[in-house]
Structure 1
Amino acid sequence: MGRVQGKVALVTGGASGIGLSTAMLLAKEGAKVVIGDYNIDAAKEAAQEIKNQGFEATAVFLDASKEESIKEAVEFTVKEYGTITILYNNVGLTNLKKDLDVVNIDLDEWDRLMNVNVKSVLLGSRFAIPHMIKAGGGSIINTASMAAFASDSIRSAYGASKAAVVQLTKYIATQYGKDNIRCNGVAPGLILTPAAKNNLSQPLLDIFMKYNALPYHGEADDIGNTVLFLASDESKFITGQTIQVEGGHYLANPTAPDFNAMAAQAQAAQSK
């Protein structure tokens, strides 16, 4: 307990999934938490749940596509708790129907994803950093994605936007490190949030499992605990990094599982 005691955190996209897990973990470890989300009713419910457990949290409406809304969320945090020392830029969008290959992608969708997935990180940091400087420092954590490091047949805009988040993280770390502000990213692989569990079929989950190094999928708390670490002073000498939290899915030569299966079949045949 107390790993972020006395710190003040704004968690964007904090009403569900990874954001909610992170908000709860930060609150349990001593931070005062503001949950920013477009779904204000869910954000208020999450904040109340945290309060019911004896910790401190409140909620604020946040439209990550609007500059003024992001500014207001940061200002609300400072007004409510006096400062902001942790910013978790977690809002992100994806669209499998419109974010396609380069020839067929909807260009309006490209602009929308760049605006929300990248610009919201820039703006959240832009508005929080002056307050962090006044407070003597802080920690900014950005949600990237393994899509920033590995390409796919679709989701061109999503992957490009998350790659931009990885690079922007480095720029923030470089520009404000002397102000005692650290900036790091977290790149999740497949994480079994409630939304993922409700929308991914078992055959699709089996494909992911085939290529994982570990024998299980990730949970929201796996990301939340990583963010907690990066928000705490335990990571005080880490900045500009993006930690890949993906169960070793992208670790091995992509042919390794197939070669292992071939070897197992050959061994089974020899033993007959």
Structure 2
Amino acid sequence: MDRVRGQVAVITGGASGIGLASAQLLAAEGAAVVIGDLTHEDASRAAAQITADGGRAIGVAVDVMEEESLAALIDTAVAEFGRLDVMCNHVGGSNPRKDLDVLGLDMDEFDRVMRLNVRSTVLGCRLAIPHMIEAGGGSIINTASVGGLAGDFIQVAYGSAKAAVIRMTEYVATQYGHQRIRCNAIAPGAVMTPALADNLPAEMIRGIRTHNALPYLGEPEDVADLMLFLASPESRYITGQVIAIDGGMTSHHPLAETRRPDAGS
């Protein structure tokens, strides 16, 4: 129960889904957690849940596309808890009704997706690093996606943005490793969050499950376990990596499903 005891963690998008599960687990393992989310009500509600369970947490409203807002979130964490050890740049996404193929893509949506996913992650790293240097090191965890690892017929903006997050992670790890700052990315596949249920038809979710190596989809808690590992000293020699947590979706040849012995059953 003490894997991140004494550490201070900031999690953007921490009021629901994977972000909330990660905040709850980090707090349960001893970290003081600062939850950033778009509304103060949602962030405070999530922090109150953690506090009620005996953890330490505060909630702060943040718009990650605005540098001043993101800086205020990180400054609040340092002012409240005295340091910064873990930065989880978790906010991201796109509007699947506008983020289509290259010909059908709404270019205003493309620009918004780049700000939401790429620019916000750059800013999160940029603003966190000086505090981590002062603290003697830290762990930055960027949320990418399997969409950044392979092509698809839709969401070209989202996939391109997450590919940029993956490459940026390698640059940050390279540039600040000697200051004992680790930077890694996680690439979730289909995880059963409210956002997934709202944005993907049931037929598509069934199709994803069919093509996973494992016969089930992940839960937010599965990704939270990985977040905790990357935040903890247990991963002290891991940096500059992207770790897919996707049930094996990206582990196999595209034709593998058609060759499965029970594929026709």
Q: TM-score, normalised by structure 2?
A: 0.97
For 1:39 and 1:188, locate their aligned partners in 2 and report how far apart those are by CA, in whole Å.
Answer: 24
Matched, 1:83 2:89: no
- Provide Cα deviations, 1:223-263, integer angstroms capped at 9, x if missing partner: 11101100000000000001000000121222222222677
Aligned to 1:155: 155
Instruction: Map 1:172-187 to 2 at 5 A.
Output: 172-187=172-187
Q: Is the CA contact 1:27–1:57 (under 8 Å) kept in the aligned structure 2?
A: yes
Residue in 2 that maps onto 1:223: 223
Shift in Å at residue 264 of structure 1? 5.3
Q: In structure 1, what is the equivalent of residue 196 of structure 2?
A: 196
**Residue in structure 2 matched with residue 268 of structure 1 by the alignment:** none
Question: Which one-letter code corresponds to 1:234 in the other structure?
Answer: E
* TM-aligned CA deviation for residue 198 of structure 1: 4.3
Structure 1 position 165, deviation (Å): 0.2
Structure 1: runs of 5 or more not aligned: 266-272
Q: Root-mean-square deviation (CA), in Å? A: 1.3
- Show the counterpart of 1:103: 103
Taking the aligned partners of 1:29 and 1:113, their CA distance within structure 2 comes to 33
The answer to whether the Cα contact below 8 Å between 1:15 and 1:39 also exists between their aligned partners in 2 is: no
Percent identity, aligned pairs only, is 50
The one-letter code of the counterpart of 2:84 is I
**Aligned residue for 2:170?**
170
Count the aligned residue pairs.
265
Match of 1:24 in 2: 24
Q: Is the 8 A contact 2:100 2:155 kept in 1?
A: yes
Aligned to 1:243: 243
Find the residue that maps to 1:79 and give its secondary structure: helix
1:269 alignment partner in structure 2? none
Q: TM-score, normalised by structure 1?
A: 0.94
Structure 2: distance between partners of 1:51 and 1:197: 28
Distance 1:263 1:114, change over 3 A: closer
Unaligned runs of 5+ in 2: none
Distance 2:20 2:3 in 1: 18
Tell which deviates more after alignment, 93-102 or 235-244: 93-102
Distance 2:13 2:190 in 1: 18
Contact 1:7–1:31 (CA<8 Å) still a contact in 2?
A: yes
Q: 3-state SS of the aligned residue for 2:34?
A: strand
